[in-house]
Amino acid sequence: MKWLSKQVAAAKQAAPLSSEGVVSIGGGEPAVVTDGEVRGAAVVSPGGYQWQPQTDETVLVIRASRDCVVGTVRGAAGDLAPGEVRITGGGASICLRRGGRIELTGRVFVNGEELVL
């Protein structure tokens, strides 16, 4: 039994501290396939930002006290200039541009009422 415990400990020490993985079960405590499947990973986001990974999304996984999904592996930044931010999800997006410009895509609601232009 002691030999087996040492083998498990050695395997954990040899594992990389971070890796890319693919989400196999989305949500607040996703399952992610890296070198094996990790279930119930913690989702870590910047302060004030909430995110739930979706199935088939490629994400970065770090190993801390438990495995954590910390963000998606980004594709091309497209038309973003340095310092600009785009948040997307569910077919909608918010783009914060330099010079204070805000671009919204999708249906916009203010206090529960749809804004119609």
Please name the helix (run of DSSP H) or strand (run of DSSP E) that holds residue 63, with its range, or none.
Answer: strand 58-63
- Residue 45 pairs in a beta bridge with none
What's the CA gap between 86 and 67, in Å, rounded? 27
**Domains in the chain with CATH codes:** 2-72 (2.40.50), 85-114 (no CATH)
pTM: 0.64
| 21-65 residue pLDDT tens | 999 998 888 999 988 888 988 888 777 777 788 899 899 998 888
CA distance 54 to 31: 10
Distance of CA 5 to the CA centre of its chain: 33
* Higher-confidence position of 77 and 41: 41
**Both tokens assigned to 14:** 């040899």
